[in-house]
Structure 1
Amino acid sequence: MDDMREREISGKTVRIDRTLCIGSGNCTNLAPEIFVIREDNIVDFQEETPDIEEGRLEEAVSICPVDALILEDEDGEQIVP
């Protein structure tokens, strides 16, 4: 299984490093339409990921306690962490 996931959401690139994830669920609480905890207790993207408010996406990524989530802008500049 690939341990790095990437998806474009609301014009931003979101990356999940599943090797770092500890399954805290913070991101799923803030953006359940984007993130899901799989049966292995590690975060992944939902099958379908709609656009959401930029601030909420940024907050959901930044709340990760182990920086397993990365958010980049349209130019590839890292926003979070």
Structure 2
Amino acid sequence: MLSTDLPGAAWNKSPHSANNCACVEVALLTDGNIAVRDSKNQDGPALVFTAVEWDAFINGVRDGVFDRERLAVTT
């Protein structure tokens, strides 16, 4: 879901990100959903995920599902 109306969201960015990088910010919403937005377009839309969707994504990252080698298309 896309949303531009997230009042009171407390946005967090990794301390490893530089000031001028293409980074994302994440916020835990009061309804338990998780929002993700472009740190350089803070007034733009945010993607909103359920806790189950977010956990599946995080677990996929930890398990290497999204590693470049796995995503590479062979011809």
More helix by share: 2
> Larger Rg: 1 or 2?
2
TM-score normalized by the length of structure 2? 0.34
More strand by share: 1
